[in-house]
Amino acid sequence: MTYIRALLAGIAGAVAGFLAGIGIGLLLVAVFGITSREGASGYFIGSIGILCGLIGLVTAIVLFLRFRADHRGFLALAGRSTLVLGAIAALVAAGIALRMATLEQFSGSVVPHLHFEVRLPAGIAEPDRRRIDFEMQAGSQRSGGQFKDQWLRRDDGQMVLSGFVPLYTRTSQRMLVVSLPGQPKLLFSIGLSATPKPSDVFGSWQRVNFIDDMKADGQPRRPGAAEIFEIRYHVPEWR
């Protein structure tokens, strides 16, 4: 119970120190005439606030352990203060991890890419590359795909298209829409988790889930017996 109360005291001290630091930062900005150009004054005030918040955090924990929990001596105070600070750091790290896991968009400059192959039924004429389109639908996000350099090959008499598409959104509800000239739209449901696990190998072939005939009053339908369009995919290492 003592450590929990010390933790709460530290949080209160951090908040008080941060607010005091903001006030000090505002005063120093006025005294030294720090410009607001490119956010310089804001960064300065924020830095002072964070510094004072850290000072308030440590000070509140030490004072609580010294005067309320009656821990005396440098080693006793240092050891117990370190435990409380470690607990706070663990809580902050857990909060950040939880927030990152629930973000709709992937953070950072690197996003995962879905690499896929689409196998066409036997007997279909070679499509015009310029008239083929890939689109990943993931929630409200739409992203276009691209062909690989070796975009077309034959697999036991069937043509296979190769491409990739970025996965900007964290969701397990993804649909790859493939548009081929002279064919209805192909809707492939992508069975990946919200944060896909990297893999260097393609999964098994899966048949197209829905066919969209693009009629004004029509709805996507299940594929017919002869509409054997298939896909396989994987997500290479990206983190």
- Torsion sign over Cα 28, 29, 32, 38: positive
Q: How confident is the model at residue 176 (pLDDT cuts 50, 70, 90)?
A: very high
pLDDT tens digits for 12-26?
A: 989 999 999 899 989
- Which pLDDT value is given to residue 66? 80
Contact 120, 110 (CB under 8 A): no
Q: How confident is the model at residue 183 (pLDDT cuts 50, 70, 90)?
A: very high
Contact 175, 136 (CB under 8 A): yes
The whole-angstrom separation of Cα 204 and Cα 186 is 18
The whole-angstrom separation of Cα 223 and Cα 208 is 7
Contact 149, 182 (CB under 8 A): no
The fraction of the chain above a pLDDT of 70, given in percent, is 92
Higher per-residue pLDDT: 195 or 35: 195
Q: Which are the contacts of 100, defined by CB distance < 8 A and separation ≥ 6?
A: 107
- Which pLDDT value is given to residue 108? 60
Q: State the DSSP H helix or E strand holding residue 29, giving kind and residue range, or none if neither.
A: helix 2-32
Residue 129 has pLDDT above 80, yes or no: yes
Q: Which are the contacts of 166, defined by CB distance < 8 A and separation ≥ 6?
A: 111, 112, 113, 114, 136, 143
Entry pTM: 0.59
Overall average pLDDT of the 50-77 stretch: 82
- 86's tokens: 């470690």
The whole-angstrom separation of Cα 179 and Cα 177 is 7
Residue 146 has pLDDT above 60, yes or no: yes
Q: How confident is the model at residue 110 (pLDDT cuts 50, 70, 90)?
A: confident
